[in-house]
Structure 1
Amino acid sequence: MSFVLLVTLTVIEIVLLVLVLAIMVTMVTRQLRSIAANLARVAFGVRAVETQVSAIGPGVTEVNRLLRDINGTLPRVAQRAEQLAR
């Protein structure tokens, strides 16, 4: 093989390699943009849920307190129900 042919084939190979790399980088960029758009939608949804749920916070404390009170009286209620059932 002649030197000129080897150089030409090498240049063609390098050009093809650069072309394939450019195509792959473009594909990866497209995928990353799609992922970024999806993450933006998810973040928007999470913020909306956070806004709606923030109103529940103070009420949960009161509900938990009431449930603890009920839990404390349940054994006495169960005993009384057993006594009445006899």
Structure 2
Amino acid sequence: MTLRVVLTVVEILGLALVLAYFLNVIGKQLIRITDTLGKIAFGVRAVETQCAVIGPAAERLNGELTATAAGLGEAAELAERLAG
């Protein structure tokens, strides 16, 4: 009976040590993941800042292209009249 108790205590201690070891490994991996996610978030903010000017510039460019397309349509009609 005493041998069983001693072996049970040793087994429980071994299990506790293995659990502590792997929890430590998992904790270190989570810290590395947190660092990586921080770097990714920093990069995304940088890209967002650099791309903030695209929206207004694209709207302005679309307006200018619409006006240019209208002007080219008029020029094509005029060229057809002159040729015809």
State the identity %: 42
Normalised by the size of structure 1, how large is the TM-score? 0.73
Residue 31 of structure 1 aligns to a residue whose secondary structure is: helix
- Pair 1:74–1:35, CA change in 2 (3 A): farther
Note the C-alpha offset of 1:65.
3.0
**Pairwise CA RMSD of aligned residues?**
2.5
**Deviations 1:22-78 (Å, cap 9, x if unpaired)?**
01100110010000000000000111111111122210112233445566788885x
Normalised by the size of structure 2, how large is the TM-score? 0.75
1:38 equivalenced with 2:45 (yes/no): no
Of the three residues 61, 64, 71, the one matched with 2:62 is 64
Residue 12 of structure 2 aligns to a residue whose secondary structure is: helix
Q: Distance in 1 between matches of 2:17 and 2:5?
A: 18
- Say how many residue pairs are matched: 78
Structure 2: any 5+ residue segments left out of the alignment?
none
Structure 1: any 5+ residue segments left out of the alignment?
none
